[in-house]
Amino acid sequence: MFAKSLKMLAFSAALMQPALALAQQAPTASIAEMANTPLVRVNIAEALRTPPDEASMTVGTEAKAPTATAAVAANKVKTEKLLAAIRMAGIRERDIQTQGIQLQPDYRWENRPGESGRQVLIGYVARNSVQIKTRRIDTLASLLDALTAAGADTVYGPNFSISDPAPLRKEARVRAMARGQAEATEYARNNGYSSVRLLSVEEGTSYRGTDVILAGAQVAPVAAPPLPPPPAPGPERDSGVVAPGQLETSVALNLLYRMER
């Protein structure tokens, strides 16, 4: 029995020797491969600035009355008038959304001589808020005037955005990839190599600038080609207090290249 156990142990050891030999050789081969074909990692962020093409805002109405029923009824009248003005301004139904309806008691603080102050119920307050979206950026000032004239008690916004940022992100990716290829190739040629081959691409979500890193070194960023200027304001544009400015759409790429002879 003892001799049989020794034979099984010797057989297991013989099976493990090739695996151990491969494990010992693997790191050496990997290091040699990296020495013969060094890698360069390029972090590129590309941002495009364009005028917004849509704006959203939240408008609200408020009504006070001695009873809850009266407050709700009064607020309903004000909200219907406001919604009519919104539709008259050309806002589509799918861009009109009720955000919240509130009903709460309305108190007044009273101080009485010789007594501590107390809250006294004087009625109720009903509120309604509606979010709207418009793509007529050039008439925002007129829209704000129409909303306040229709009885809007509160206006939050406008908040500007780009309705479809996908084409801008696509263009930013194209520019980022071109810059990454150019900068990695430049770094390869500075180190005696003729070209680079892309190995991997990772896309991030934040703007981090442009860095090329290899063994702690950096290459100065290359400026992206400028975008064409936005069209000049036309005669139909408002000249009020609304200034849309420009919004930034950006992508950040982490590119890994292999240097080649």
pLDDT tens figures, 203-254: 975 433 333 333 222 333 333 334 444 444 444 445 456 788 888 999 999 9
Distance of alpha carbon 233 from alpha carbon 85, whole angstroms: 26
Residue 78, pLDDT score: 95
Q: 140: number of CA atoms within 13 Å, CB side?
A: 23
Distance of alpha carbon 193 from alpha carbon 170, whole angstroms: 30
Distance of alpha carbon 78 from alpha carbon 73, whole angstroms: 9
Q: What is the mean pLDDT of the chain?
A: 79
**Every domain of the chain and the residues it spans:** 37-51+162-224+245-261, 54-160
Q: Higher pLDDT residue, 60 or 231?
A: 60
Residue 54, pLDDT score: 93
As a 3-state breakdown, the chain gives helix, strand, coil percent values, each rounded to 5, of: 35, 35, 25
Residue 33, pLDDT score: 56
Beta strands 195-204; 118-134: pairing state: unpaired
Q: 94: number of CA atoms within 13 Å, CB side?
A: 1
Distance of alpha carbon 124 from alpha carbon 147, whole angstroms: 24
Q: Are 25 and 118 in contact (CB under 8 A)?
A: no
Residue 18, pLDDT score: 46
pTM over 0.85: no
Residue 112, pLDDT score: 75
Angle at 43 (CA atoms; ends 40, 45), nearest 5 degrees: 155
Residue 178 corresponds to which amino acid? A
H or E stretch at 105: strand 96-110
Distance of alpha carbon 243 from alpha carbon 138, whole angstroms: 10
Q: Higher pLDDT residue, 238 or 139?
A: 139
Is the pLDDT assigned to residue 3 strictly greater than 80?
A: no
Is the pLDDT assigned to residue 21 strictly greater than 70?
A: no
What are the beta bridge partners of residue 126? 63, 103
Question: pLDDT tens digit string along 176-198?
Answer: 999 999 999 999 999 999 999 99
For tokens 């790429």, the residue is: 253
What are the beta bridge partners of residue 250? 47
Quickly state the pLDDT bin for 45 (edges 50, 70, 90).
very high
Residue range 54-160 in CATH 3.30.70.2970: yes
Residue 241, pLDDT score: 64
37-51+162-224+245-261: CATH topology: Translation Initiation Factor IF3 (3.30.110)
The conformation of residue 217, written as its DSSP 8-state character, comes to: B
Q: Are 150 and 84 in contact (CB under 8 A)?
A: yes
Is the pLDDT assigned to residue 57 strictly greater than 90?
A: yes
Residue 242, pLDDT score: 73
**DSSP H stretches of helix in the chain:** 2-36, 68-88, 140-149, 166-190
